[in-house]
Amino acid sequence: MIVIGVVLLWALYALFPTIKYNTLSGNEKTSMEEEGILEQLEKKTIRRGLDLQGGMHIVLEVDIPTLVENLASNKNNRFYEVFDKVKTGDEMSAEDFINQFATEAKSQDLRLNRYYMDYGSDPVSIQAALEDEATDAINRALEILQNRIDEFGVSEPTIQKQGNRRVIVELAGIQDPERARSLLQSTALLEFALLKDGAVTQNLLTRVDRILKGSDDLEDLLETKEDSTNEEQTPIETETRVTDEEEVSLTELFGTTEEDTTAEDTTEVLVDKDLFEERPFSSLLRQIGNDLGVPEQNMRAVTKIMEMSNIQDILKGGEGRLSMSKEKDTWTLPEGGSESFYRMYHLEAEAGLTGGVIEEALATLYNGQPIVTLSMNSEGAKTWSRMTGANVGRRLAILLDGNVHMAPVIRTKISDGQTQVEGFANMNEAKDIAIVLRAGALPAPVDIIEERTVGPSLGQDSIDQGTQSIIIGLVLVLAFMVFYYRGAGLIASFAVLWNLILVLSILAMLKATLTLPGIAGLILTVGMAVDANVIIFERIREELGKGKTPRSAIDSGYSRAITTIVDANVTTILAALVLMQFGTGPIRGFAVVLFWGIATSMFTAIFTTRTIFNLISAKRDLKTLSI
Amino acid sequence: MRFLKETNIDFLSMRRFGFVISGSFILAGIVSLLLQGGPLLSIDFTGGTLAQIRFEEAPDIAKVRSALEALDVGIGEVQTFGTPNEILIRLQLSQNAENLTTELKAALQAQFPGQSIDFRRVETVGPKIGSELKGKAFFAVFSAIIGILIYISIRFELKFAIGAIAALIHDVLITLGVFSILNYEISLAIIAAFLTIVGYSLNDTIVVFDRVRENMKLLKNIDSETIFNKSINESLSRTIITSLTTFAVVFILYIAGGEVIRYFAFAMIVGVIVGTYSSIYVASPVVFLWQQRMTPQSK
C-alpha cells in the first residue's frame, strides 16, 4: 500500500504541469506570457515536433575534401591528380576522406609535406594534423551555425552534432526556407583579391582559345552544331530565333540554359560562327569598358568551358582565377536593343586578405542601396593598409563566396581598417550577409544532405486529425470495455485514460517532442493499454469460473497474470528501444511514445487498477464481482 | 458479457490448412517482390525529393507533368494525394536540387496562373543518407529480432523462441508482400510500423506460450497436442479482445488520421490481422512440430 501510495503521489506530481497548462484559457495564457511565467510552464509541457508545428529539418555535412584542399598550399597538378581521384570516390562512401587521401598519396608517392609544411614533416603527423583540423572544423561550424541562427531569430532552434561530419539543424516555424538555407550554407568567405593586368588577362584568354581550338571536344561540338543548324527548320525554333546563316546556336552544344523555361527570346546563344571556330572562348565574351562581360545567354556555355579539366589545369597551374560578378548588368547594344550580362574578372590566385579579420559588419542603406560596412581588427587593418598602399591605381575585387560584389580602383591607402561592400539584391540579403560575416566564416563549405520542410498548414491538419483519431479511438475502446466487462470495464477505462495522461506527462517531464508518428504511438497505446487489463480480467473470470470468491479470484488472477503481462510486453519494449536507437526525428518520437505507453500500461494495470479492486473488495464483503 | 464461453477448438489439427494459407500469401508476396526487383523504396532510402503541394482547385496532372518536364529535373512521378486538390511529386535525385523548390514553384505558378500554390511538405534526401538509412533500417529490424530471440530463449526454452521468430518473420514477410503487391512504398515510417508489428505479434504469441508453459507444469501427463490446444483456447478470448481494440484504433487512424500516416496505419492493420493469426496458426504449431521432431531423438 505504501508503494502504491508513493507511486500515485508521484504520478499526480507528474501530471500537474500538463493539466495546468491544458486547462489554461487563452486569456490566462496571454496574461501569463506577459508575466513571463508561460514560458516557464511551456518548458514543462510537451514540445510539438516540426511535423506538427511546421518547420525545417536540415542535415548539413561539412565538406572535408574542400577543407583539405583549402589547407594545402602550393597546390599543383600532381596534387590534384591524387586529390580528385579520392574526392570522386568519396561521393558515395561514408569512409573517412582524410584517411583515404593519405593512403592514396602514399601509394602514388605524393609527398604530402610539400603541400602541408605547416602541419608536420612526415605523412603520419600530417594525417593526424588534418584529422585534428577536420574535428576542429566541425566544432567551429557548429558554433558558427549556432551564432548565425541565434542572430536570425528563430524560437527554440535545435542544433546538434551527428557523428563526425554532420550537423542537424531544426528550425521551427520557418516561413522562408530559401533564406534559411542560404544563411546556413553560406561559407561567408570574404576575400579581397587584386585584379590581374589587362594584358595578362588577354594572354590567358588566348591560351584558352588555343587549347579549345585544337580540342576534340570542340570538333565534336561543332559537328553537332552544323547538323542541328541544317535540320532546324522547325517553326517553333525559327519563331524565337534571329536567324542568320553565319550565326550558330550554342544551345545544342552546351545543353539548354536554365532560362529556357522562363524567358522567351533569350534562349539562343548567338555568336559569330567563324569567330567561334577561331576563338571558341573569347568569342563568347564582350568587351564592356574595361571589363569583360558574359552575356546572360552565354553564361552556361562559359561556365561549361571553365569547368573543362584542361582549362581547370591552366587555372590551377597558377594563372589566377576567373570569377563572375554576383549581380548582372544591362548594356545597350551598338546595333540597338539591350543585353544582360555578368562581368568576369581575372584575379590573382591568392586573396590578399580574407574575412577572418572582420570584427564588425553592419547592413545599412547608402544612397538608397543596401551596403554592408566592415571594420577589421588591428591585424587586418595593417594588412589592408599595406595592400591598398602598395597597389594604388590597381583594381581590387571584393568577393563573397566566390562571387565578385564590386571591383573598385584603389584610390588611396586605407589605414583605418574600414571598408564597405555593395552589390546586394535587397536589404534582407545585406542583413543576412552581415550576420554571417559577424558570426565568422565557416572553415569549410557545408552541404545540405537532407532537408525536410513541413508547412504550418499541414502541421495543423496533422494535429487536428491526430486528436480526432485519439478521441474516436478512445471513445470506441472505452465503450467496448464497459460494455464487455461492466464494472471492471469502468476500472479499465479509468486505467486507459489515466495511462494516456501519464504518458503525456512523462513526455513533458522528459522534454520529449511529440511528432505525428508519436500521435500514432499514442493511439496505439490506447489500443494496446487495455491488453494488460484484458489479461487480468480474463484470468479473474477464469478463477471465478472455478468457484472462487471475488476476493481470492482477484488475488490469484492478478498474481498469475503478472508474469504473462511482463513477458508479453518486454518484446514490444525491446522493439521500441531498438527503434529509439535507430530512428531520428519523427520515428524516434514514435519509439519514445510506444516505449512509455507500454511501460505505463503495465504499471497502470498492475498497480493502479489493483488498488481500485482492493478498495472495492475491502469495503464490503463482496459476493459478486461485476466483470 | 462474453463472446466466447469455454471453447474447445482443435487448432493444431488445422495447422496444415494454416500452413497452406500462410505459404501461399508469403509466396505471392515473394513472387511480387521478385518481379519488381525488391520492395519499392521511398526517397528515404533511394534519395530524391518529395513534395506535397496543395492547389486552390484540383490541378490537371498532365499540366503538372509538363511543368516538371520543362524543368528538366529528372524522372518525376505525380499523383493526387488525399483530396483532388493536393498532389504528391516524387523526383529522383537531380544535380540542381539546390533551388528545386523555388524552380518548381515558379514553374507550377506559370502553369497555373492565379492559383495560390501551397508547398505543404518538401523532403529532400541525399544519396549518401539514403544508403546509410537502408543499412540502418536493416540493422534495426535484424537486431530487434536477435534481441527478442535472446529474451525468449532466456525466459522460455529455445523451441519457443524458434516458434516466435517463425511467427514474426511470417508477419513481416506477409506485410512486406502486401505492400509490394499493392505497390506501396517502404519508407522510414513503414520500417517503424514493421518493428511495431514485430513487437505486437510477439506480444500475442507470448501470451499463448505463457499459457502453454503454465499448463505444461500443471498437466505433466497430458500429451503436448492437447496442452497446446487447451492453452490456445484458454487465451483465445483475450487474444480476440486485444486484437479487436488494437485493430479498432489503427483502423480509425487509417481513416481519420490523415494522408501522411495512412500507409503507416495500413501496415499496422495488416500487422494486427496477420499477427493475431500467426500467434495461433504459426507460432504454436511450429513449436509443437519442433518438439515432436526433437523428442524421439533425445529418448
Per-position DSSP letters for B176-189, written without gaps between them: HHHHHHTT--B-HH
The model's confidence at residue A270, banded by pLDDT at 50, 70 and 90, is: low
Residue A145 CB-half CA count within 13 A: 31
Do B86 and B134 lie in one domain? The reply is no
User: In the prediction, which pLDDT does B247 show?
Assistant: 92
- CA A237, A240, A243, A249 dihedral sign is negative
Residue B2 lies in a domain: no
Q: Cα angle vertex B200, ends B194, B204, to 5°?
A: 145
Instruction: Report chain A's mean pLDDT, rounded to a whole number.
Output: 77
Tens digits of per-residue pLDDT, A435-464? 888 877 787 888 888 888 888 888 888 888
Do A429 and A539 lie in one domain? The reply is no
Chain B residues with CB-CB distance to A256 below 8 A: 72
pLDDT tops 90 at residue B181: yes
Chain A residues with CB-CB distance to B120 below 8 A: 454-455, 457-458
Residue B174 lies in a domain: yes
Give the nearest partner residue to B207 out of A91, A535, A581, using CB atoms. A535
| Residue that is last in its domain, among B79, B97, B125 | B125
Contact B202 A572 (CB under 8 A): yes
Give CA–CA dist A357/A608, Å, rounded: 65
The percentage of residues in chain A with a pLDDT greater than 90, rounded to a whole number, is 1
The full DSSP string for B70-81 is: HHT-S-EEEEEE
| Residue that is last in its domain, among B86, B110, B125 | B125
User: In the prediction, which pLDDT does A8 show?
Assistant: 63
Residue B5 lies in a domain: no
Gap from B283 CA to chain A (nearest CA, Å):
14
Residue A546 lies in a domain: yes
Q: What are phi and psi of A23, to 5 degrees?
A: -90, -5
| Residue that is last in its domain, among A319, A347, A375 | A347
Do A508 and A373 lie in one domain? The reply is no
| Residue that is last in its domain, among B125, B154, B177 | B125
Give CA–CA dist A280/A218, Å, rounded: 8
Tens digits of per-residue pLDDT, A9-57? 666 666 566 666 666 666 776 676 666 666 666 666 677 788 888 888 8
Contact B241 A484 (CB under 8 A): yes
Contact status, residue A68 vs residue A83, Cβ threshold 8 Å:
yes
Do A382 and A405 lie in one domain? The reply is yes
Give 3-state DSSP helix, strand, coil % of chain A, rounded to 5.
60, 15, 20
- For B258, name the nearest residue in chain A, comparing CA atoms only: A465
Give CA–CA dist B128/A450, Å, rounded: 9
A97 and chain B in contact, CB less than 8 A: no
Cell digits of residue B119: 508547398
Contacts of A351 (CB under 8 A, 6+ apart): A191, A192, A193, A399
User: In the prediction, which pLDDT does A243 show?
Assistant: 36
Chain A residues with CB-CB distance to B192 below 8 A: 517, 579, 583, 587, 590-591
Residue A122 lies in a domain: yes
pLDDT tops 80 at residue A376: yes
Contact status, residue A622 vs residue A553, Cβ threshold 8 Å:
no
pLDDT tops 50 at residue A86: yes
Chain B residues with CB-CB distance to A523 below 8 A: 249-250, 252-253, 257
Contacts of A390 (CB under 8 A, 6+ apart): none
- Please report, for the domain that includes residue B237, its CATH number: 1.20.1640.10
- Please report, for the domain that includes residue B116, its CATH number: 3.30.70.100
Do A420 and A315 lie in one domain? The reply is no
A128 and chain B in contact, CB less than 8 A: no
- For A92, name the nearest residue in chain B, comparing CA atoms only: B128
Residue B4 lies in a domain: no
Residue A165 lies in a domain: no
pLDDT tops 60 at residue A105: yes
- Interface probe, candidates B105, B172, B246, B250, chain A, greatest A C-beta count within 10 A: B246
- Interface probe, candidates A185, A448, A570, A571, chain B, greatest B C-beta count within 10 A: A571
User: In the prediction, which pLDDT does B223 show?
Assistant: 85
Instruction: Report chain B's mean pLDDT, rounded to a whole number.
Output: 85
Give CA–CA dist A423/A405, Å, rounded: 5
Residue B52 lies in a domain: yes
pLDDT tops 80 at residue B250: yes
User: In the prediction, which pLDDT does A559 show?
Assistant: 87
A566 or A96, higher pLDDT: A566
Contact A594 B125 (CB under 8 A): no
Q: Which residues constitute the domain of residue A67? A: 62-153
- Interface probe, candidates A166, A462, A531, A544, chain B, greatest B C-beta count within 10 A: A531
Give the nearest partner residue to A575 out of B120, B128, B199, using CB atoms. B199
Rounded average pLDDT over B248-277: 91
Do B238 and B192 lie in one domain? The reply is yes
Cell digits of residue B79: 499523383
Do B213 and B284 lie in one domain? The reply is yes
Q: Which residue has the cell 500521435?
A: A519
A224 or B152, higher pLDDT: B152
Contact B256 A469 (CB under 8 A): yes
The model's confidence at residue B252, banded by pLDDT at 50, 70 and 90, is: very high
User: In the prediction, which pLDDT does B221 show?
Assistant: 80
Contact status, residue A58 vs residue A448, Cβ threshold 8 Å:
yes
User: In the prediction, which pLDDT does A262 show?
Assistant: 35
Do B148 and B274 lie in one domain? The reply is yes
Contact A516 B261 (CB under 8 A): yes
pLDDT tops 80 at residue A293: yes
Rounded average pLDDT over A487-493: 86
- Quickly count: other Cβ atoms within 10 Å of residue B189's Cβ: 24
Contact B246 A473 (CB under 8 A): no
Residue A627 lies in a domain: no
- For A176, name the nearest residue in chain B, comparing CA atoms only: B102
Do B139 and B121 lie in one domain? The reply is no
Give the range among A115-119, A192-196, A581-585, B19-23 with minimum mean pLDDT.
Answer: A581-585
The percentage of residues in chain A with a pLDDT greater than 70, rounded to a whole number, is 81
Residue A420 lies in a domain: yes
Contacts of B249-253 spanning 24+ positions with Cβ under 8 A: B249/A469, B249/A473, B249/A476, B249/A477, B249/A523, B249/A524, B249/A526, B249/A527, B250/A523, B250/A524, B250/A527, B252/A469, B252/A472, B252/A473, B252/A476, B252/A523, B253/A469, B253/A473, B253/A520, B253/A523
Give CA–CA dist B14/B81, Å, rounded: 43
Give CA–CA dist A171/A181, Å, rounded: 11
User: In the prediction, which pLDDT does A224 show?
Assistant: 36
Give the nearest partner residue to B206 out of A541, A568, A583, using CB atoms. A568
Give the nearest partner residue to A568 out of B110, B196, B203, using CB atoms. B203
B7 or B61, higher pLDDT: B61
Rounded average pLDDT over B222-241: 88
Rounded average pLDDT over A336-357: 83
Do B146 and B292 lie in one domain? The reply is yes
The model's confidence at residue A138, banded by pLDDT at 50, 70 and 90, is: confident
- Please report, for the domain that includes residue A409, its CATH number: 3.30.1360.200
Do A284 and A375 lie in one domain? The reply is no
Do A139 and A218 lie in one domain? The reply is no
How many contacts, defined by CB atoms under 8 Å, are there between A and B? 226
* Number of domains chain A is built from: 5
Residue A161 lies in a domain: no
pLDDT tops 50 at residue A342: yes
Gap from A462 CA to chain B (nearest CA, Å):
7
Rounded average pLDDT over A353-379: 84
Instruction: Tell me the three state secondary structure of residue B246.
Output: helix
User: In the prediction, which pLDDT does B4 show?
Assistant: 64
Burial of A34 (0-12, 13-18, 19+ CB in 10 A): exposed
- Interface probe, candidates B96, B230, B261, B273, chain A, greatest A C-beta count within 10 A: B261
Residue B129 CB-half CA count within 13 A: 29
User: In the prediction, which pLDDT does A314 show?
Assistant: 77
| Residue that is last in its domain, among A284, A317, A347 | A347
Instruction: Tell me the three state secondary structure of residue A620.
Output: coil
Q: What letters, b where the CB count within 10 A reaches 16 and e where it falls short, cover A469-502?
A: bbebbbebbbebbbebbeebbebbbbbbebbbbb
Give the nearest partner residue to B144 out of A449, A452, A574, using CB atoms. A574
Q: Are strands A353-354 and A190-194 parallel, antiparallel or unpaired?
A: antiparallel
A256 and chain B in contact, CB less than 8 A: yes
Q: What are phi and psi of A623, to 5 degrees?
A: -95, -40
Contact status, residue B51 vs residue B132, Cβ threshold 8 Å:
no
User: In the prediction, which pLDDT does A90 show?
Assistant: 60
A510 and chain B in contact, CB less than 8 A: no
Give CA–CA dist A221/A258, Å, rounded: 20
Residue A3 lies in a domain: yes
Gap from A465 CA to chain B (nearest CA, Å):
5
**Which residues sit opposite B244 in a β-bridge?**
none
Rounded average pLDDT over A326-332: 80
A13 and chain B in contact, CB less than 8 A: no
Residue B1 lies in a domain: no
User: In the prediction, which pLDDT does A91 show?
Assistant: 56
Most confident of the ranges A149-158, A246-255, A291-300, A539-548:
A539-548
Do B151 and B186 lie in one domain? The reply is yes
Do B140 and B98 lie in one domain? The reply is no
Do A597 and A461 lie in one domain? The reply is yes
Do B32 and B153 lie in one domain? The reply is yes
Give the range among A384-388, A432-436, B239-243 with minimum mean pLDDT.
Answer: A432-436
Contact A262 B106 (CB under 8 A): yes
Q: Which residues constitute the domain of residue B289? A: 12-41+129-298
Contacts of A205 (CB under 8 A, 6+ apart): A279, A281, A282, A285
A 481-500 near B (Cβ less than 8 A): 481, 483-484, 486
Most confident of the ranges A172-176, A265-269, A371-375:
A371-375
Do A85 and A210 lie in one domain? The reply is no
Most confident of the ranges A118-122, A178-182, A335-339, B260-264:
B260-264
pLDDT tops 90 at residue B254: yes
Do B180 and B282 lie in one domain? The reply is yes
pLDDT tops 60 at residue A241: no
Do B167 and B235 lie in one domain? The reply is yes
Give the range among A209-218, B176-185, B252-261 with minimum mean pLDDT.
Answer: A209-218
Contact A534 B207 (CB under 8 A): no
Residue A626 lies in a domain: no
Give the range among A575-589, B171-185, B272-286 with minimum mean pLDDT.
Answer: A575-589
Do B213 and B160 lie in one domain? The reply is yes
Do A481 and A576 lie in one domain? The reply is yes
Give CA–CA dist A208/B113, Å, rounded: 45
DSSP state letter for A409: B
Give the range among A228-237, A584-593, B229-238 with minimum mean pLDDT.
Answer: A228-237
- Interface probe, candidates B245, B247, B264, B278, chain A, greatest A C-beta count within 10 A: B245
Chain B residues with CB-CB distance to A468 below 8 A: 256
User: In the prediction, which pLDDT does A1 show?
Assistant: 56
Do A306 and A425 lie in one domain? The reply is no
The model's confidence at residue A561, banded by pLDDT at 50, 70 and 90, is: confident
User: In the prediction, which pLDDT does A261 show?
Assistant: 36
Do A299 and A382 lie in one domain? The reply is no
Chain B residues with CB-CB distance to A476 below 8 A: 248-249, 252
Tens digits of per-residue pLDDT, A546-559? 888 888 888 888 88
pLDDT tops 60 at residue A94: no
Residue B291 lies in a domain: yes
- Please report, for the domain that includes residue A596, its CATH number: 1.20.1640.10
A266 or B190, higher pLDDT: B190
Q: Cα angle vertex A51, ends A47, A53, to 5°?
A: 55
Residue B6 lies in a domain: no
The percentage of residues in chain B with a pLDDT greater than 90, rounded to a whole number, is 18
Give CA–CA dist B200/B222, Å, rounded: 30
User: In the prediction, which pLDDT does B255 show?
Assistant: 92
* Number of domains chain B is built from: 2
Do A321 and A408 lie in one domain? The reply is no
Q: Please, where are the H alpha helices in A118-215?
A: 123-152, 177-185, 198-214
Give CA–CA dist A504/A597, Å, rounded: 9
| Residue that is last in its domain, among A408, A439, A470 | A439
